[in-house]
Amino acid sequence: MGKNGFSKVVTADPKPIRKSRKSKGLLKRTILVLVLLFGFES
């Protein structure tokens, strides 16, 4: 379940994540979302 959620988040917005300056903020938000997803799934 967790892996599927992770792949969806990554494939949802691949371009912004690749950007250097905005990538840090997006990565932090993505990690928070993943933590929430893993928390609800587990």
Q: Kindly report, residue by residue over 17-33, the tens digit of the pLDDT.
A: 555 666 678 888 988 98
Domain count, the chain: 1
Residue type (1 letter), 13: D
Domain housing 24? 2-41
pLDDT, residue 19, reads 59
pTM summary value = 0.39
Could you give the CA distance from residue 42 to residue 9 in angstroms, rounded to a whole number?
A: 18
The two tokens of residue 37 are 């997803």
Cα pseudo-dihedral 3, 7, 8, 11, rounded to 10: 180
